[in-house]
């Protein structure tokens, strides 16, 4: 049986990666944001995971609006970081936990999910940035990845309840896997932001701060909310937060909130993270 050693939630704003590329980490705009992640990076160094399950959405880089899967799972041996238009990024490719991915896909289908299964695909900032935030800029990533894509781009997006159900299957897959790998689960996206329409620039700091505590202590509240509630409280793109529910549902009912960080604005978003461990 593999072991869940932690559940992390984090923003995946693309300008975070760009700030690192441009050497802006310690500028007045960015330093408070990055400093707040140091505790999470330290936690990750000590936790020594073997596999990172990363739940994120593609942003028109690997899937365009002509074909949008509601859920997709990577089963590749390697994932290249996609070039989002600013040229190739100087980060290593991501090694896939391919055998474990196939096992997860099998468990999903057994539980009546119908994911798109991806043997060859690139990963965008939704996966790149969380990896950089928690693992820094190593010459080689210290974990294998299992990427899970959730459509949060084109309506209808899946319900929070459905994301929760996927998290339950993820846990079952981890616990039924014969290996002894140490697994971290990264739910990504958010926090509040809206990049389009009449409310472009919308940030809801109060809702974001409540989320960071509530996702640990009272996830039922967020599971029960409608998709429209998410858009109203967090903005049309802030609805990415439904992806944290996959992570949270895979954890125990009771968790300990080990680290928490919030910063606003980062780019045009509320941004932050949590580190959760299962309570005994
Ligand atoms: C932006 C893009 C994202 O995917 C996100 O989650 C937050 C912000 C942006 O372009 O600013
Ligand atoms: Fe995003």
What's the pLDDT tens digit per position in 46-77? Answer: 999 999 999 999 999 999 999 999 999 999 99
Q: What is the CB neighbour count within 10 angstroms for residue 263?
A: 20
Q: Which atom of ligand 1 is nearest to the CA of 57?
A: 4
Distance CA 79, CA 101 (A): 13
Q: Ligand 1 pocket, 19 CB below 6 A?
A: no
Burial letters 145-180, b for 16+ CB under 10 A, else e: bbbbbbbbbeeebbbbbbbbbbbebbbbbbeebeee
Query: What pLDDT, on a 0 to 100 scale, did the predictor assign at position 88?
Result: 86
Query: What pLDDT, on a 0 to 100 scale, did the predictor assign at position 131?
Result: 98
pLDDT tens per residue, range 143-180: 999 999 999 999 999 999 999 999 999 999 999 999 99
Return phi, psi of residue 249, to 5°.
-70, -25
38 CB burial (10 A radius; 0-12, 13-18, 19+)? exposed
Query: What are the residue boundaries of the structural domains of the chain, listed by start?
Result: 3-278
Q: Ligand 1 pocket, 49 CB below 6 A?
A: no
- How much is the average pLDDT of 8-20? 96
Query: Which of the four pLDDT bands, split at 50, 70 and 90, describes residue 85?
Result: confident
Query: Which of the four pLDDT bands, split at 50, 70 and 90, describes residue 280?
Result: confident
Query: Which of the four pLDDT bands, split at 50, 70 and 90, describes residue 39?
Result: very high
Query: What pLDDT, on a 0 to 100 scale, did the predictor assign at position 251?
Result: 98
Per-chain mean pLDDT for the chain:
97
Query: What pLDDT, on a 0 to 100 scale, did the predictor assign at position 133?
Result: 98
Query: What pLDDT, on a 0 to 100 scale, did the predictor assign at position 76?
Result: 98
Q: Ligand 1 pocket, 260 CB below 6 A?
A: no
Q: Is 221 a catalytic residue?
A: no
DSSP codes of every residue in 144-165: EEEEEEE--SSSSPPPHHHHHH
Q: Which CATH number fits domain 3-278: 3.40.830.10, 3.30.160.340, 3.40.50.2000, 3.40.47.10?
A: 3.40.830.10
Q: Is the predicted pLDDT of residue 117 greater than 90, yes or no?
A: yes
Distance CA 271, CA 193 (A): 9
DSSP state of 138: -
> Closest Cα partner for 1 from 206, 129, 180, 127?
180
99 within 8 A of 140, measured Cβ to Cβ:
no
Q: Is 193 a catalytic residue?
A: yes
% of the chain at pLDDT higher than 70: 100
125 within 8 A of 269, measured Cβ to Cβ:
no
Q: Which atom of ligand 1 is nearest to the CA of 240?
A: 6
Q: Of the listed 193, 259, 261, 263, which one is catalytic?
A: 193
pTM (two decimals): 0.98
98 CB burial (10 A radius; 0-12, 13-18, 19+)? middle
């Amino acid at each position: 049986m593999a072991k869940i050693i932690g559940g992390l939630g984090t923003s995946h704003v693309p300008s975070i990666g760009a700030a690192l590329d441009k050497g802006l980490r310690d500028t007045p705009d960015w330093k408070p944001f990055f400093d707040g992640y140091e505790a999470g990076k330290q936690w990750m160094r000590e936790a020594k995971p073997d596999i990172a399950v990363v739940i994120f959405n593609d942003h028109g880089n690997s899937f365009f609006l002509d074909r949008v899967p509601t859920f997709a799972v990577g089963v590749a041996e390697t994932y290249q970081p996609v070039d989002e238009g600013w040229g190739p990024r100087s980060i290593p490719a991501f090694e896939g936990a391919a055998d474990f991915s196939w096992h997860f896909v099998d468990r999903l289908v057994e539980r009546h999910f119908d994911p798109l299964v991806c043997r060859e695909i690139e990963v965008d900032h939704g996966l790149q940035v969380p990896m950089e935030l928690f693992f820094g800029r190593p010459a080689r990533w210290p974990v294998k990845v299992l990427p899970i894509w959730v459509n949060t781009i084109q309506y209808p997006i899946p319900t929070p309840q459905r994301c929760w159900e996927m998290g339950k299957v993820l846990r079952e897959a981890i616990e039924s896997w014969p290996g002894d790998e140490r697994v971290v689960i990264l739910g990504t996206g958010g926090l509040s932001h809206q990049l389009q329409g009449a409310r472009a620039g919308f940030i809801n700091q109060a809702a974001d701060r409540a989320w960071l505590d509530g996702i640990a202590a009272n996830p039922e509240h967020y599971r029960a909310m409608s998709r429209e509630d998410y858009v109203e409280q967090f903005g049309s793109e802030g609805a990415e937060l439904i992806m944290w529910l996959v992570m949270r549902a895979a954890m125990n009912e009771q968790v300990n909130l080990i680290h928490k960080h919030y910063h606003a604005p980062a780019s045009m978003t509320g941004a932050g993270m949590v580190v959760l461990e299962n309570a005994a």
